[in-house]
């Protein structure tokens, strides 16, 4: 039986990290496809592949050893893909700007916070269950908006989108609150 390659937590070029980088690179062509073909089976299929690849990089990371860079890159790839997809959906008239702007503000803010904490405190902030649920709900909302038989269900789609906004901000507040108190016990 072949032994699985293990990486230490400082490794950079791991298979999981390469998948995360690939997901970010594919965000641009995916958005162009969304702008061209809107809700279509092609775009839904691309979204499913990009979403499943998130699970693949996580599986590889757990199997081969999670890394600090991987914890950062995986979440960055999620944010690049989802925020790009949400704005493409605004551009084609599927979503209004306000909920997508609220999601974007939180995603950018948390990415900056993670970067600051990582560089100043040397701490990696891996995703916790609320963040994973947030990502799952955002993924479902985008998939729903791209699925031809469901895309016209605007009432249900908007309810899901606003639920994603609430969960997105809730998980962000938990990151800030939990991490702040653990990093600054005297506060």
Cα dihedral sign, 129-134-139-144: positive
CA distance 5 to 15: 10
Place of tokens 């594919």: 26
pLDDT digit string, tens, across residues 120-140: 877 666 678 898 899 999 999
* pLDDT above 90: percentage of residues in the chain: 63
CA nearest to 85, candidates 35, 42, 40, 147: 35
**Sign (positive/negative) of CA torsion 139, 141, 144, 145?**
negative
Average model confidence (pLDDT) for the chain?
89
The pTM of the full predicted model, rounded to 2 decimals, is 0.88
Q: What percent of the chain has pLDDT over 70?
A: 90
**pLDDT digits over 78-120, tens only?**
999 999 999 999 999 999 999 999 999 999 999 898 888 877 8
How does residue 182 score in pLDDT terms, banded at 50, 70 and 90?
Answer: low
The DSSP secondary structure of the chain, one letter per residue, reads -PPPP---TT--S-HHHHHHHHHHHHHHHHHHHHHHH-S-HHHHHHHHHHHHHHHHHHHHHHHH---HHHHHHHHHHHHHHHHHHHHHHHHTTSS-HHHHHHHHHHHHHHHHHHHHHHHHH-------HHHHHHHHHHHHHHHHHH-TTTTT-HHHHHHHHHHHHHHHHHHHHHHHHHHHHHH-TT-
Domains present along the chain, CATH in parentheses: 15-180 (1.20.120.1760)
What local confidence, expressed as pLDDT, does residue 136 receive?
94
CB 75 within 8 A of CB 127: yes
Mean pLDDT of 35-62: 94
**How far apart (Å, rounded) are the C-alpha atoms in residues 22 and 86?**
19
Tokens 């969304």 -> residue = 34
């Amino acid at each position: 039986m072949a032994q699985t390659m293990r990486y230490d937590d400082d490794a950079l070029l791991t298979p999981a990290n390469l998948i995360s980088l690939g997901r970010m690179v594919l965000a641009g062509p995916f958005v162009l496809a969304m702008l061209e073909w809107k809700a279509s089976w092609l775009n839904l299929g691309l979204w499913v592949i990009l979403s499943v690849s998130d699970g693949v990089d996580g599986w590889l990371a757990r199997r081969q050893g999670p890394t600090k860079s991987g914890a950062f890159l995986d979440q960055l790839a999620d944010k690049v893909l989802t925020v790009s997809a949400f704005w493409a959906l605004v551009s084609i008239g599927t979503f209004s700007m306000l909920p997508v702007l609220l999601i974007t503000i939180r995603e950018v803010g948390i990415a900056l916070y993670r970067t600051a904490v990582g560089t100043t405190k040397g701490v990696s902030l891996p995703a916790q269950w609320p963040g994973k649920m947030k990502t799952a709900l955002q993924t479902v909302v985008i998939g729903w908006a791209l699925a031809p038989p469901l895309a016209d269900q605007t009432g249900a789609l908007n309810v899901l989108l606003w639920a994603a906004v609430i969960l997105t901000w809730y998980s962000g507040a938990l990151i800030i609150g939990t991490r702040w108190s653990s990093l600054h016990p005297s506060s």
